[in-house]
Amino acid sequence: MRSDSRLFMADDGKPVVFVTQGTLANYDFRQLINPAIRGLAQEDVHVVASAGGNKEGQVICSPNAVIHSCIAYENMLPRAQVFVTNGGYNGVQQALSFGVPIVAAGVSEDKSLVNQRVAWTGTGIDLKTGSPSPEQIRSDVRKILSNPTYSERARSLGIEIAKTDALKAITEIVRRVLARR
């Protein structure tokens, strides 16, 4: 498992699929990372997975996959064509801010609600499970790569996200609330 900041991918034009189970739910790689690696092993893509910490030996290997213990999303997402995630709010927001469509598989915490919104906005596919099969992941990654509508919707939402000044909006709301007192 690599932990340095280099991504170790060939720049050969193949699509890049970035896979992560998020910050906290990265203790059982049978949930998402291993099914993704297994499902995409024979595909003509590069798989880059962030395993979250040093879990040597728990992540399966594939010739087209590179596993890192930690990857800064802002370094990886600009290179990705698909983001496979458990649907954590922050990861989804970051992917959309870079215009990357999503395959989402998660049902704990707020993940099912986040993933429903991914599907509703047309920016990705909600697998509606926390433990998808390799076939489900492969099928939906193929669907996103072959249908430009997902990328178009993700880019469109990314443009809207870029227009938003969250700190300014929060400051204005706090000012209004304090003015009422």
For residue 19, the cross-strand partners are 49, 84
Write the burial class of residue 125 (CB in 10 Å: 0-12 exposed, 13-18 middle, 19+ buried).
Answer: buried
- Using alpha carbons, list the distances in angstroms from residue 104 to 55, 56, 95, 152, 166: 22, 25, 11, 17, 25
* Whether pLDDT at 9 is above 70: no
Q: Model confidence at 53, in pLDDT bands (50, 70, 90)?
A: low
For the entire predicted model, the pTM comes to 0.88
Q: Which residue is listed with tokens 């227009």?
A: 163
- Give residue limits of the domains in the chain: 16-179
Kindly state the percentage of the chain with pLDDT values over 70: 90
Question: Tens digits of per-residue pLDDT, 61-94?
Answer: 899 999 888 889 999 999 999 999 999 999 999 9
Kindly state the percentage of the chain with pLDDT values over 90: 70
Domain 16-179: which CATH number of 3.40.50.2000, 3.90.1150.10, 3.30.300.130, 3.40.50.300: 3.40.50.2000
Half-sphere exposure of 118 (CA within 13 A, CB side): 38
CA distance 80 to 47: 9
